[in-house]
Amino acid sequence: MTDTSIGSGFVPSGQLQLGIFFQGVNSGTIWKSPQSGSQTDFESFRRIAQTAERGLFAAFFLGEGLRLREHLGRPHALDVAGRPDAQTMLAALASVTSHIGLVATQNTTYNDPADLAHRLSTLDLISGGRAAWNVVTTDNAWTGANFRRGGYLDHADRYVHAEAFVETAKRIWDSWEEGAVAASPAAESWSSPGSARPVHHEGQHYSVDYRPKLPRSAQYRPVLFQAGDSPDGRDFAARQADVIFSAHPKFDDALNFRRDIVERTLKAGRGANDVKIMPASEFILAPTPQEAREKKEWVRNLQIGPQQAIAYLEQFWGRELQEFDPDGPLPEIDPVVEETSETRGSGFHGAKARHLADQWRAEAKEKGLTIRQFVSAKTSRVDATFTGSYTEVADRLVDYARTGAVDGFNISPWLIPTGLDDIVNHLVPALQERGVYPTEYAGSTLRENLGLASPVRQDAGVAQEV
């Protein structure tokens, strides 16, 4: 039997939180079904955010990609693409929701700290303390081609830069004293003189000399999410983040990841419970296990069609593979490129293409998988999918809550805008019956609803968690 203890002073909360990740790109979202709604109309976003709020979800999460995905030199045609700006959409959703957290993925490489911190403060204030920032980095010149600076950052420097950026943002959010703004129109001045500290930063890539224009929010400052999985990324999260959007939903992996993060968090001088973990996940649910399995097959067929399966391999082979049968074995021919090129987010950046092809062929042969089956398994992150009846899956999730392997799950629905309906209508009540899911929002801010402590303003700079 697996050892499920975390140790090191970590105390499981026994509770789970749910988030929704409206992806807007890539193959996880089905567009081929008559039930597939618009990816850009506000009504799709409103519908899913309000459903999530009905299900007491802690967070509504939006991604960001600053260049349109390409395939063999042209925009990629086969998957959902084209999505609204995260913060603009979340500002709009703030007006039609009241409790759900609003998480914007925003890049540290192609933003200025003062501007980004100000916009995140704005989102935090207009939502009554519900904003969060998922911190991501980009180093590639391919994305830089859309920006004034172009590609300027080395891969090795990306977290150094990101951390200086986040530290600067925290100082900006720490600038205004509590109660800096007058309580009455009869006051001498609108804000007490000297109550906002200017922020100076001289960095390798930018400098900031700024008098912040916004007070703290109901949750002090935006909550910080981070998704990096490399050792550097994990240490960065352990030092700076409140929540990790992890890639480790499988129970044993989740336990190991938790242990690793607890160690790193303690090493960074923070408490064992200070960093929450919410892995990416997908739920395929039905009244019975058999129906759920059938549903999964339907979902997978629509996510990865024959064209997408071939296109996926073409990314790594660097050439067209149209002559191959998607329902046949992987191509025996070798890739024409030495290294796979920028496949951001998929983890294969810079892989030796021929080596990868050999490995994959062997893997597919061993498991007896066709191209389509192989790609479907690769892209759907099988570990991240919970398939089963409502009660079956709820029972599985109880183990996660009991052990503290995770603090919750960030769910990517495979249908927009109805993809959360069965989760909210069936899974949430099942989790509530098992005592592992909230029956009401703990508070009005995201920090409260995630069970995070409030930062305390520091005399000379960066706020620290208590």
Partner 1 sequence: MSTPPIPARPGFLALELDGDGAHPAAWRKARHTPAELLDGTRIRATVLAAESAGFHVATFADGAVPGGTGITGQLNALQRAAFAGPVTSSIIVVPEVDTVYTEPFHVSTQLASLDYVSGGRAGWLVAASDSAADAAAVGRQTVSGAGLGREAADSIEVSRRLWDSWEDDAVIRDVATGRYLDVDKLHYVDFEGGGGFESGADAVGATYSVKGPSIIPRPLQGQLPVVVPAGLLASGRPSAGATDALLVSAPTPDLLAAEVAEARSALAATAGGAPAVIAELDVVLDARGQAAEGRLAELNAHTPWESTRARFVGTAPELIELLTTLLETADGVRLHPAVLDVDLEELAQLVLPSLRRRGVLAPVQPDTTFRQLLGLQRPASRYATARHGADSVLAGPAASSTAHQGENND
The window from 311-319, 399-407, 435-443, 455-463 that contacts partner 1 (CB under 8 A) reads: 311-319
Residue from 101, 233, 335, 455 in contact with partner 1 (CB under 8 A):
233
Nearer to partner 1, 196 or 272 (CB): 196
- Does 37 participate in binding partner 1 (rule CB under 8 A)? no
| Smallest separation, CB 299 to partner 1 (Å) | 16
Determine the Cα–Cα distance for residues 416 and 145; give it in Å rounded to an integer: 31
| Smallest separation, CB 155 to partner 1 (Å) | 9
- Does 177 participate in binding partner 1 (rule CB under 8 A)? no
- Does 42 participate in binding partner 1 (rule CB under 8 A)? yes
- Does 238 participate in binding partner 1 (rule CB under 8 A)? no
Nearer to partner 1, 94 or 254 (CB): 94
Answer yes or no: are the C-beta atoms of 240 and 166 closer than 8 Å: yes
- Does 185 participate in binding partner 1 (rule CB under 8 A)? yes
| Smallest separation, CB 101 to partner 1 (Å) | 15
- Does 377 participate in binding partner 1 (rule CB under 8 A)? no
| Smallest separation, CB 318 to partner 1 (Å) | 7
- Does 441 participate in binding partner 1 (rule CB under 8 A)? no
Partners of residue 70 on adjacent β-strands: 75
Answer yes or no: are the C-beta atoms of 217 and 133 closer than 8 Å: no
DSSP state of 29: S
- Does 114 participate in binding partner 1 (rule CB under 8 A)? yes
| Residue 447 CA neighbour count, 13 Å, CB half | 19
Residue from 1, 2, 156, 183 in contact with partner 1 (CB under 8 A):
183
Nearer to partner 1, 25 or 243 (CB): 25
Determine the Cα–Cα distance for residues 429 and 88; give it in Å rounded to an integer: 32
Would residue 129 be called left, alpha or beta, if left means φ above 0 and alpha means ψ between -120 and 50 degrees? Answer: left
Q: Is the dihedral of CA 289, 290, 291, 297 positive or negative?
A: positive
Q: Which of residues 44-73 bind partner 1 (CB under 8 A)?
A: 46, 63-73
| Smallest separation, CB 434 to partner 1 (Å) | 31
Establish whether the linkage from the previous residue to 231 is cis, with ω within 30° of 0. Answer: no
Q: Which of residues 10-29 bind partner 1 (CB under 8 A)?
A: 25-26
- Does 250 participate in binding partner 1 (rule CB under 8 A)? no
Binding mask 190-209 for partner 1 (x = CB under 8 A): xx----x---------xxxx
Which is nearest to 393 in space by CA: 276, 304, 291, 269? 291
- Helix (H) / strand (E) containing 71: strand 70-71
- Does 81 participate in binding partner 1 (rule CB under 8 A)? yes
Determine the Cα–Cα distance for residues 76 and 1; give it in Å rounded to an integer: 45
The window from 4-12, 142-150, 359-367, 407-415 that contacts partner 1 (CB under 8 A) reads: 142-150
- Does 35 participate in binding partner 1 (rule CB under 8 A)? no
Q: How many residues bind partner 1 (CB under 8 A)?
A: 115
Label the pairing between strands 199-202 and 408-411: unpaired
- Does 291 participate in binding partner 1 (rule CB under 8 A)? no
**353 phi, psi to nearest 5 deg:** -60, -45
**202 phi, psi to nearest 5 deg:** -115, 110
- Tokens for 351? 């892989």
Binding mask 206-225 for partner 1 (x = CB under 8 A): xxxxxx-xxx----------
Label the pairing between strands 70-71 and 464-465: unpaired
| Smallest separation, CB 173 to partner 1 (Å) | 13
| Smallest separation, CB 381 to partner 1 (Å) | 12
Determine the Cα–Cα distance for residues 412 and 281; give it in Å rounded to an integer: 6
Answer yes or no: are the C-beta atoms of 338 and 353 closer than 8 Å: yes
Residue from 16, 18, 58, 91 in contact with partner 1 (CB under 8 A):
91
Answer yes or no: are the C-beta atoms of 88 and 64 closer than 8 Å: no
- Does 322 participate in binding partner 1 (rule CB under 8 A)? no
- Does 329 participate in binding partner 1 (rule CB under 8 A)? no
DSSP state of 150: -
- Does 161 participate in binding partner 1 (rule CB under 8 A)? no
What's the length of the chain? Answer: 466
The window from 75-83, 285-293, 363-371, 422-430 that contacts partner 1 (CB under 8 A) reads: 75-83
Determine the Cα–Cα distance for residues 420 and 284; give it in Å rounded to an integer: 10
